[in-house]
Amino acid sequence: MASIRLSDRRRFLQGLTAAGVAAFTTRGVFAQQLVETATTTEGPFYPDKLPLDTDNDLIIVNDAVTPAVGEITHLSGRVLTKSGQPVRNAFVEIWQTDRTGSYVHTGGRQPTGHDTNFQGYGRFLSDAKGQYYFRTIKPIDYTLIGIFRTAHIHFAISQNGRRVFTSQMLVNGHPANARDGVIKALDRRALETLLVDFKPLPGSKLGELTASFDIVLGATLNELEVGPLRGVAPSTQKRRGGA
């Protein structure tokens, strides 16, 4: 199984590399600054205790045989500055519910049970081209602690030990988006930076999906490397309540 995951990772990062090369060598692509990816609340369910397995494959926990239930999704993208420069060694974290609508957070599980085979949280260090990759499941909408949420995946990015970005990636065209309070608080332009298409993986016999989410930080490389960063999201040591 490990060799399969490594093969998947290589294949998707190779595809990202080709796309990145085209972008950086095409005249006018970055003549104007990129649109900054909108930030949102962290929410109350960042893991209060990290799982034993924290790699970028959320489908398989450690060396388990049974995979998580859900639509397998290969999630990839790049971390960039507004000028289009790739952010190397960005610490990318994701967390989301399983197919029951449960988080790995001990206070974020459904009373009817949860999928013990879903890791629920993963991390990845971006490469020299700012690329990251996760294997996870397509998120679902759910109701937890009396709050309804549309399908989403939480993202956080840290650089040099500081949280510099927190947001939620959304499923483009999901019918529950119109009912979600977090989304209603965003203006149209901000919302568009978070909507992602989930597409069938060509040739997959398992019905796997792909999703691409480039994250544009509102900072230059110099700002990320030294000095205070304006608009830094709350650190994981100062988690807030609320949805």
Q: Is 152 a catalytic residue?
A: yes
Greater confidence, 239 or 181?
A: 181
The structure tokens listed for 25 are 């060598």
How many residues does the structure list for the chain?
A: 243
- For the stretch 120-134, pLDDT in tens is 999 999 999 999 999
Residue 235 has pLDDT above 70, yes or no: no
Identify residue 142 by its one-letter amino acid code.
Y
DSSP H stretches of helix in the chain: 2-25, 181-184, 188-192, 221-225
**Choice among 103, 121, 132, 133 that is catalytic:** 103
What three-state secondary structure class fits 171?
strand
Domain ranges for the chain: 2-219
DSSP H stretches of helix in 101-192: 181-184, 188-192
Q: How many Cβ atoms sit within 10 Å of the Cβ of residue 200? A: 10
**Choice among 78, 135, 149, 174 that is catalytic:** 149
Superfamily of domain 2-219: Aromatic compound dioxygenase (2.60.130.10)
CB 218 within 8 A of CB 229: no
**Choice among 9, 105, 109, 152 that is catalytic:** 152
The structure tokens listed for 84 are 């289009």
**Choice among 105, 114, 154, 163 that is catalytic:** 154
pTM above 0.75? yes
Q: Is 103 a catalytic residue?
A: yes
3-state helix, strand, coil in the chain (%, to 5): 20, 25, 55
Q: How confident is the model at residue 200 (pLDDT cuts 50, 70, 90)?
A: very high
- Please compute, for residue 166, the number of CA atoms within 13 A of its CA located in the half-sphere on the CB side: 17
The DSSP 8-state label assigned to residue 9 in this structure reads H
- For the stretch 50-98, pLDDT in tens is 988 999 999 999 988 899 999 999 999 999 999 999 999 999 999 999 9
**Choice among 46, 132, 133, 142 that is catalytic:** 142
Q: Is 174 a catalytic residue?
A: no
